[in-house]
A = this chain, B = another copy of it.
Amino acid sequence: MKTDISLEEAQTLLLELVQSVKECQVPLTSAVGRIVSQDIRTNINLPLFDKSPLDGYALKAKDTEDANSSNPVILEVIEEVPAGYMPKKQVTSGTAIKVMTGAPIPNGADVIIKFEDVKREENKVELYYPLRTGSNIIRVGEDVRQGEVIAKKGAVLNPPLVGLLAAIGVDAVSVFSKIKIAILSTGDELIDPSEELRSGKIYNSNLHCLGAYCSQLGAEPVSLGIVPDEEAAIVERINQGIELADLVITTGGVSVGDYDIVPTALKKIGADIIFWKIDMKPGSPIITAKYKNKLIIGLSGNPAAAFITFDLIVVPLIKRMMGIDKELPVKFSAILAENFNKPSEQRRFLRAKLQKNNRINYVELTGDQSNGVLKSMVACNALIDVPAGSGPLLAGQEVSAVMVGSGSELFI
């Protein structure tokens, strides 16, 4: 069992142990947010055929060679083609076909002129200047080419990608299945917010906070509820979680005190401990284990510590299991907008908000940085990564940070 390892080693060790789950087919109408499980190639070109980008007349450019304002060229309009219909005739010298926006280019025509730029008289049009072959024609395959990969395995189905799949005639898509994540809170002091408050007890927030995060990521949270600090009860619920879910998360009971019995429970069920404790603050008490080919991650009971380690360690695992191909939080540099007066003996992550009204990235702290404080997580979209051995931080200095929270994939 490793102990006091770095965050990066923890991420690597765990990511190596998981893989993406099964795949399934979903209708395109409910595919948004899901992850593509197989490269998708298009069987057709987009556009499907040469077409007109505007309402106008299709003709032969050669016919307009001598056109000018005093000597217009006059062509006979032999057909009118709306979008959605094929021309029946073909353009020959001396004729034109009226085409609406999106209509296929008639055979024989090599240029389109806007209808505002000609004079129409009954079945004739007058043209006043020479045209260049190929003007105003959208070519077949200009957007996508038949056979091209439209969406790679691991891509998130965002709305334009859903639209693009519709455009190539895909109405069902292979995606990775939703994963289930069991969450258990341990602690004699905890009661659920639906219960009456009793003396010495506190409301449990971790189950709700982490469950909400799982939902937001597109995974399915499975609540294992709250158990007291009793080894037998913890063992039973973890076993239940292993049966019900793809990943088990616990909160509380992972330090080295007399009542920190999640590590004991994990050893009891015969799980292989991967590591215990990481070298960072908050969140250093974390234990991870593998059991029946599934991972169990025991997080701190302190709300901010639990949430930050969830962000930095559990979210990448969930993303890998969901089939997303870039899992780790996105790193960036920014200018610190205010002082942080404490020195940092240990590596420390500070809750911060990236401000983006300027072309320079600024980060400001979101409030009280204590382990137990949830309030400063609410506005947090970034964590400042303060190296071990740092002195106080000064406003204006450059800092390293990572994006956290749902939405940070925007920047991948």
Interface residues of A (CB under 8 A from B): 28-29, 31-33, 44, 46-49, 53, 55, 82-86, 100-104, 115, 138, 142-144, 150, 157-171, 187-190, 192-194, 197, 199-213, 215-216, 223, 228-229, 255, 257-259, 301, 303, 307, 330-335, 354-361, 368, 370-375, 377-378, 380-381, 398, 403, 405-411
B374 touches A29 (CB 8 A): no
Asked if A84 contacts B188 (CB within 8 A), the reply is: yes
> In the assembled complex, how far is the CB of residue A353 from the closest CB belonging to chain B, in whole angstroms?
9
- A202 CB to nearest chain B CB (Å): 6
CA distance A162 to B206 in the complex (A): 9
- Top 10 A-B pairs, shortest CB-CB distance: A163-B209, A84-B189, A407-B407, A160-B377, A84-B188, A55-B257, A32-B212, A166-B208, A83-B189, A167-B205
Contact present for A208 and B162 (CB under 8 Å):
yes
Contact B29 A208 (CB under 8 A): yes
Chain B hits for A208, CB < 8 A: 28-29, 162-163, 165-166
CB of A43, distance to nearest CB on chain B (Å): 10
Give the chain B neighbours of A165 by CB distance below 8 A: 193, 208
Question: In the complex, how many angstroms separate the beta carbon of A254 from the nearest chain B beta carbon?
Answer: 11
A28 — which chain B residues lie within 8 A by C-beta?
A: 193, 208
What residues of chain B lie closer than 8 Å to A202, measured between beta carbons? 47-48, 84, 102, 167
- Give chain B nearest CB distance to A237 CB in angstroms: 17
In the assembled complex, how far is the CB of residue A401 from the closest CB belonging to chain B, in whole angstroms? 10
User: What chain B residues lie within 8 Å of A410 (beta carbons)?
Assistant: 354, 381, 405, 407-408, 410
| A143-B374, A375-B144, A409-B407 known; A160+B307 contact, CB < 8 A | yes
Q: Per a CB cutoff under 8 Å, which of B160, B190, B194 touches A378?
A: B160
Tell me the smallest distance from the CB of A102 to a CB of chain B, in Å: 5
Tell me if A357 and B377 are in contact (CB < 8 A): no
**CA–CA, A223 to B166, complex, Å?**
14
Indicate if the CB atoms of B85 and A188 lie closer than 8 Å: yes
Given contacts A83-B189, A163-B206, A259-B82, contact A158 B359 (CB under 8 A): no
Q: How far is the CA of A49 from the CA of B372 in the complex (A)?
A: 13
Closest to A303 in B: B163
Question: How far is A205 from B165 in the complex, measured between Cα atoms in Å?
Answer: 8
How far is it, in angstroms, between the C-alpha of A187 and the C-alpha of B160 when the chains are bound?
A: 20
Chain B residues with Cβ under 8 A from A104's Cβ? Answer: 200
Q: Which residues of B contact A82 (CB under 8 A)?
A: 188-189, 229, 259
The answer to whether B375 and A357 touch across the interface, beta carbons within 8 angstroms, is: no
- Cβ–Cβ contact A170 & B144, under 8 A: no
Complex interface: chain B residues within 8 A of A407 (CB):
406-410
Show 30 A/B contacts (Cβ-Cβ < 8 Å), sorted by A.
A32-B213, A32-B216, A48-B202, A82-B188, A85-B188, A85-B200, A86-B199, A100-B257, A138-B370, A143-B370, A143-B372, A143-B373, A158-B216, A158-B378, A159-B209, A159-B210, A159-B307, A160-B209, A160-B378, A160-B380, A162-B212, A164-B377, A166-B205, A171-B194, A333-B358, A334-B359, A335-B359, A354-B410, A405-B410, A407-B408
Select one of B49, B200, B215 contacting A32, CB under 8 A: B215
Nearest Cβ distance between residue A164 and chain B, in whole angstroms? 5
A197 touches B169 (CB 8 A): yes
A227 to chain B, nearest CB (A): 12
Q: How far is the CA of A158 from the CA of B405 in the complex (A)?
A: 9
Q: A202-B47, A410-B410 are in contact. Are A163 and B216 (CB under 8 A)?
A: no
A168 to B, closest residue via Cβ: B203
Contacting pair B372 A138 (CB below 8 A): yes
Question: In the complex, which of the residues B201, B212, B356 contacts A31, with contact meaning CB atoms closer than 8 Å?
Answer: B212
Docked CA distance A290–B319 (Å):
44
A303 CA / B356 CA spacing, docked (Å): 29
Contacts of A102 in B (CB 8 A): 187, 189, 202, 301
User: Inside 8 A of A359's CB, which chain B residues have their CB?
Assistant: 332-335, 360-361, 398
